[in-house]
Structure formats: structure tokens, C-alpha cells
Structure 1
Amino acid sequence: MQNFIAELIGTLFLVLFGEGVIANVKLKKTTGNNGGIIAITAGWAFGITLPVLIFGKISQAHLNPAVTLALAAIGKFSWESVPSYLIAQFIGAFLGSVIVFIIYYNHFKATSDAVAKSAVFCTAPQIEGLGISFITELVGTFLLMFIILALGDTALAGGIKAIAIGMLVWAIGLSIGGPTGYAINPARDLGPRVALQLLPVPGKGKVDWSYAIVPVVAPIVGALAAALLYINLF
């Protein structure tokens, strides 16, 4: 149960920080309106660093179903624990979105752009095309997983590793996050996408479920490929 709670709260923190920054940048009449990509990627970087620092010693702080599945696939995590981790991560992401919605409710009302409102919750391609979007998410998560495994094999202290992971997430967002908004985490997109569907977001428009396969499946494929390559190289 301790691991379940750690993964749930850790993923909640991740989404609260990350989506909170997006809301601050995208929604009208906020102090951070039009803050840009630097602010958004920094939010996700800090959003992963802090939960990893806090919960890494309890649950390893996966906070990402793609990471959990990849670690299990190469024997570094028990398959028996996978279901509880995935459930915790999706619930945490959903609840994080609910909190962002509550905090920014008045700003959702003040914003007329349905696309901006949707962007607070879930990713979308900047130019339509499932193929390129799938490749982008796959490559982004491949980088994430491969470097996480490499960091795990170093002698760096846990706190330094957490900071390095945060910098990694920041770098991925700045470099290849442009085409899709970079999910690189199925829970980060699917949990909030469900929240967007269920919550009474003013003027939210239709939720795009046709795109959901990209941020859910591509990160899993990318993480698995990275993990399998890593163990065969090292």
C-alpha cells in the first residue's frame, strides 16, 4: 500500500506542477499568460524532479506506466506489482488534473479558445499527422528510458539523479517537444484526458480520443525498445 500511495501522490504532484504551468501560460487573465515553451518545459522538469526526490526511496518513483512496464520487461521490477503501480499512476494523474481545473476554473471561463483549454489537460499534434506524432513520442520516451537506466547504473547520489532526470525531461521538451507537446508518459495524458471528458470545463469542445493512441502506446513502445537495447549493450 505504501508504494501505491507513493506512486499516486508522486504522479499527482507531477501533473499538478506540469499542467498547472500549462494553465498559467495558456489560459487568459493569469499572471503567466503567454509565458511560452521555456516556462512549460521547466514546469514539467521541476514536476518530475521533486516527486522523484521525495518518493524515490519508497516506490522508486516510476510515475510513468511506460517506465514501469519497461523495467518489468527487463527483470528490474516485479510483474506482480505492475497493476497496482499503473492504477496508482493513472489515478494520480486524474486527480492532479482535477486540482488544476479547480484552481484555474475562473480562467477556463475567461478563455474562449477550446484548443487552449484542451492543451491544459492533454497533448495534441501541432500539425495533424499520427505517424510523425507517434515517432516523436516514441523517440522522446526512448531517450527518457535509456538515460534513466544509465543514470541508475552510475554512482551518483539519489538527489543528483533526481535533478538529472528533471534536466533530461526539460531537454526532451525543449528539443523534440514541439510537434506533440511531449507526453512521454501514458498516465500524464490518459488520466487528464479522462478528466477533461468528465469535468464541466466551460466551452471545452469535443475531446479528441482519436489521438489518444499516440501518447498512450508510443511511450510504451519507446521505453520497451530503450530498455531492451540498454540491457543488451551493457
Structure 2
Amino acid sequence: MTTTQRAFLGELIAECIAVFIIIVFGDSVAAMYSLYDPSPYKMAYWGVCIVWGLGVTVAIYVTGAVSGTHANPAVTLALACYRGFSWKKVVPYWVAQVLGGFLGAVIVYTLFSPVIEHYAAVNHLDWRHDGAAAGVFFTHPGDFVTPMHAFVDEVILTAMLLLGIFAITCEYNTQAPQANSGALIIGLLVATIGASAGYLEAWAINPARDFGPRLFCFLAGWGEAALPSPGNYWWVPVAGPLVGGVVGAGFYQGVVKPFMPAIVRARQPDIAQD
């Protein structure tokens, strides 16, 4: 194995670990929210959002030096479109990220399987037909939300995510946090999106976060409740974030970044010549 191949393997392992961390924390707090009565979070939903956000922060601190911690296929796609990330790496990164989501769901199921079984029994639910506890692992539309409306929501919310990430990580943005605190701000951004719109369809904003656990649940006995899921919903949290990520990152690159003072100053000689 060459040095380049070894480095790339390390990047893929890091991406897998990053999503694994996010799912272990995030799906576990979803289990705490959904499976217990009384729930410790029903009257403190912000706590759920903070745990998801801090999961992202921890993932960045653990893996950022190796792969940059995309931890989200929408981020990988946006970086390939606008910031020179190699297109040859996009699909392998996606596979590693989905695998991380799958493995994270395995751990969450290991932790909470007795509670899931009790929840299903008490509520007279069948895993395969009723999707008992499915919301612990993957997303679905909330009240009054159709799949197509959820798709639009995911486009918008992921656009906001990528707008924020591109601003936070822009080398020309003098208002952006320094590298060591950027991870915390990105985590808070994820938490803020969840706190402001999470009840719409559980704010997937990340295809790997949804599809990896969904694939595990399909194999673990949830069957059609996971894939294709009611209303054939499975594709929404995959396609919506991919589209939204490109839109949000493109908005930053095309509308905000050109007016950064450092870029304007660098262009001034050309402007003077004109």
C-alpha cells in the first residue's frame, strides 16, 4: 500500500468513525426521548438538540485532522462542487459515512434493545408493520407534513446548514471562529436547526445519518417500516439534503464570499485598472 493509499484509507476510516459517533449519541438521545414515560426530554427538547449538536462537535474533534470531518454526504458533495474536493473521493466517502451510520445504529440497538422490546409490548405494536421505535433510528414526517413537503423542508434546512458551515470555515471570513472553536459552533448550528424545525421531520439534514440506521433497521426486523417506509419516504432524507447542500453552499460562494473585505481588497488593483 502506497503512502497515498494509506492516507486515503485513513480518511475513509475517519469518516466512518465520525458518523458512528454522531449516531451513537444522537440516536441514543432519541431513544431517551421516545421510549421512556415520562421522558426526561419531553419538556426539555432543547436537550435533544444539544446532544445531536455536541455529537457533531465531538466527531469533528476526533476525526477532523484526518479527513476534515465531512460526516455528511451533503457536505462532501458541496465541497466537491465548490472547494476543490476530489470527485474521485466522493462516492467512497459516502459509503464510509453510511457504514458509520449503520454501525452506530448497531450500538444504539445493543444499548436499548430491552427498552425497545418493552416499548413495543406495552403499546401493542409490531416492529414490521407498525414501525415500533423506528423514530429512534431514522426520520419520518411529523404531523401534517407530506413527503413532498418534507423534501422541500430538507432542502431548505440543509441549505442553511451548508451556508453556515461554509461561512464558519471560509478562510476570508474574519468573523468566523478560530479552528479550535469552529467545531463547537458547527455543533450549535446543528442544534439550532433541530430546535427551530426538528418537529417537521426530525431534521435529517444528512443522508448518512438517516440511511445508515434505516438500512440496519431493515435488516434487523423493521422490514418495510424502514425500507421503503410508509409513503415510500426513504428517499426524502437522502435527496433533499444533497440538493439543499449544493444550494446553500452555492449561495455562500456566489452571493456572500465575493464581498468579503479581504477579497475586495485583493481585487482593488484590477478595479483601479478598469
The farther-off stretch of 24-33 and 104-113 is 24-33
Say if 1:74 and 1:228, in contact at 8 Å, map to a contact too.
yes
Q: Which residue of 2 aligns with 1:188?
A: 209
**2:85 counterpart residue number:** 77
1:151 to 162, 168, 174: 168
Query: 1:27 Cα shift?
Result: 1.2
What is the aligned partner in structure 2 of residue 139 from structure 1?
156
Shift of 1:34: 4.1
Which residue is 1:121 aligned to?
137
The root-mean-square deviation of aligned C-alpha atoms, in Å, is 2.0
The percentage of counterpart residues that share the same residue type is: 34
How do 1:191-206 residues align onto structure 2 when only pairs under 5 Å count? Answer: 191-200=212-221, 206=225
- Contact 1:64–1:187 under 8 Å retained in 2: yes
Aligned with 1:170 (options 186, 191, 195): 191
What is the distance in 1 between the residues matched to 2:152 and 2:37? Answer: 35
Matches within 5 A, 1:18-167: 18-28=26-36, 32=40, 34=42, 36-112=44-120, 113=123, 114-115=130-131, 117-126=133-142, 127-153=144-170, 154=173, 156-167=177-188
Q: 1:75 Cα deviation (Å)?
A: 3.6
Cα distance, 1:28 vs structure 2: 3.4
- Alignment check: 8 A CA contact 2:25 2:52 kept: yes
Q: TM-score, normalised by structure 2?
A: 0.79
Partner residue of 2:272? none
1:171, 1:115 → 2: CA distance?
28
> Could you list the per-position Cα deviations for residues 133-184 of structure 1 after superposition, in whole angstroms to 9, with x for gaps in the alignment?
1111111100000110000114532221000001100100011112101100
Larger radius of gyration: 2
Q: 1:122 to 1:225 in 2, by over 3 A?
A: same
The structural deviation recorded for 1:35 is 6.0
Question: Is this contact kept in 1: 2:41–2:48, CA < 8 A?
Answer: no
Gaps of 5+ in 1: none
Identify the range of structure 1 (123-132 vs 160-169) with the bigger mean alpha-carbon deviation: 123-132
Q: What is the TM-score normalised by the length of structure 1?
A: 0.92
Q: How far apart in 1 are the matches of 2:134 and 2:10? A: 33
Task: Give the drift of 1:47.
Answer: 0.9
Letter in 2 for 1:117: A
Judge which range, 120-129 or 14-23, deviates more.
120-129
For structure 2, which runs of at least 5 residues remain unmatched after alignment?
1-8, 124-129, 258-274
| 1:29–1:107 Cα contact (<8 Å) kept | no
Shift of 1:228: 1.7
Change (3 A) 1:106 1:29: farther
Secondary structure of the 1:84 match is helix
Structure-2 change in CA distance of 1:85 and 1:70 (3 Å): same
Give the count of matched residue pairs. 232
Q: For 2:233, what is the secondary structure of its paired residue?
A: coil
Within 2, Cα distance between the matches of 1:93 and 1:222?
20
Following superposition, the deviation at residue 25 of structure 1 comes to 1.6
In the alignment, the residues of structure 2 paired with residue 30 and residue 107 of structure 1 have an alpha-carbon distance, to the nearest angstrom, of 14
Larger helix proportion, structure 1 or 2?
2
User: Could you list the per-position Cα deviations for residues 109-149 of structure 1 after superposition, in whole angstroms to 9, with x for gaps in the alignment?
Assistant: 11025555000111011134122211111111000001100
In 2: Cα distance, 1:195 partner to 1:38 partner: 27
Contact 1:65 1:85 in 2 (8 A): yes
CA distance in 2, matches of 1:208, 1:82: 24
